[in-house]
Amino acid sequence: MEGLEQIKARIEAAVPGAKIEILQNASPSQQHSLKIDNQHAGDVAKFLRDDPALRLDFCSNVTGVDWLDRTVKKTVKVKKVIDGEEKEVSETTEEKITGYLEAVYHLFSMSHKHGPVIIRMQTTDRAQNVCLTSLTPIWRSAEFQEREIFDLYGIRFDGHPDLRRILMWDEFEDHPMRKDYREPDDYEYEPTPHDEVLEKAKGHYVSRPELDGAEKITTQT
């Protein structure tokens, strides 16, 4: 199978305007990936599936990722004049990166028996702009997995044929896999709440001293 550099170049030639970036993976797996822009995602996916040399006809899994706001430190070499002499020194700079959500697709070719090719799409932020293009029309196996990402992370997949919750109930208002998610103190639906839930729920009760005193009197008698 071609390397990512060759695949990137052929995508850009086949899909005018597509913005493709190779993202390096420093983990032991060394599974580098292609970040594709949301605007051209459908056309890029179709190319990857239909190109005779690639035939990436099977999407094995789709994963959601939540990236919080973070600061990245970078060390760069700069030239400075020190004591009248130009020297190369190291300086550390900080770059603030706005948080975003991400969908990661692992693609294989059943006909050519190669893969994976990993592609990624990223939202603009984690609040208002959380829409990505659904790739279910290209790979039907992505349908339930995109629904799961919508349910647990909150990414809305435009063009998905049946985008609705798949694990949480319809009235649930949050997304449990977000890194800043905090579970409620009490679950009204829980018929026999355990001690930890009951302890959390006490913070929502209105204190009524007159009742507390009455309880004490009853206890003493």
CB 126 within 8 A of CB 133: no
CA distance 207 to 197: 18
More confident residue, 19 or 72: 19
Helices 4-14 and 41-50 cross at an angle (nearest 10°) of 120
Considering the domain architecture, whether residues 125 and 111 belong to the same structural domain is answered as yes
Range 30-35 average pLDDT: 93
Considering the domain architecture, whether residues 127 and 168 belong to the same structural domain is answered as yes
Q: Looking at the whole model, is its pTM more than 0.85?
A: no
Report yes or no on 221 lying in a domain: yes
pLDDT over 80 at 218, yes or no:
no
pLDDT band at 216 (very low <50, low <70, confident <90, very high): very low
Range 151-170 average pLDDT: 95
Considering the domain architecture, whether residues 219 and 161 belong to the same structural domain is answered as no
Report yes or no on 209 lying in a domain: yes
Considering the domain architecture, whether residues 107 and 45 belong to the same structural domain is answered as yes
Considering the domain architecture, whether residues 37 and 141 belong to the same structural domain is answered as yes
Report yes or no on 90 lying in a domain: no
Q: What value does the mean pLDDT of the chain take?
A: 87
Range 192-212 average pLDDT: 64
pLDDT in tens, 39-58: 999 999 999 999 999 999 99
Which pLDDT score, from 0 to 100, does residue 52 have? 96
Report yes or no on 46 lying in a domain: yes
pLDDT band at 196 (very low <50, low <70, confident <90, very high): confident
Considering the domain architecture, whether residues 152 and 203 belong to the same structural domain is answered as no
pLDDT in tens, 56-79: 999 999 999 999 998 988 888 888
| Cα torsion 153, 156, 160, 166: sign | positive
Cα 52 to its chain centre, rounded Å, is 31
Considering the domain architecture, whether residues 147 and 212 belong to the same structural domain is answered as no
Residue % of the chain over a pLDDT of 90: 62
Report yes or no on 72 lying in a domain: no
More confident residue, 171 or 189: 171
CATH number at residue 30: 3.30.460.80
Considering the domain architecture, whether residues 215 and 150 belong to the same structural domain is answered as no
Total of domains in the chain? 2
Report yes or no on 168 lying in a domain: yes
Considering the domain architecture, whether residues 46 and 125 belong to the same structural domain is answered as yes
pLDDT over 70 at 186, yes or no:
no
- Angstrom CA distances, 32 to 21, 86, 120, stand at 11, 39, 11
Which pLDDT score, from 0 to 100, does residue 188 have? 56
pLDDT band at 221 (very low <50, low <70, confident <90, very high): very low
Considering the domain architecture, whether residues 215 and 145 belong to the same structural domain is answered as no
pLDDT over 70 at 219, yes or no:
no
Report yes or no on 76 lying in a domain: no
Enclosing domain of residue 13: 4-67+101-182
Which pLDDT score, from 0 to 100, does residue 200 have? 72
Residue 95: how many other CB atoms lie within 10 Å? 9
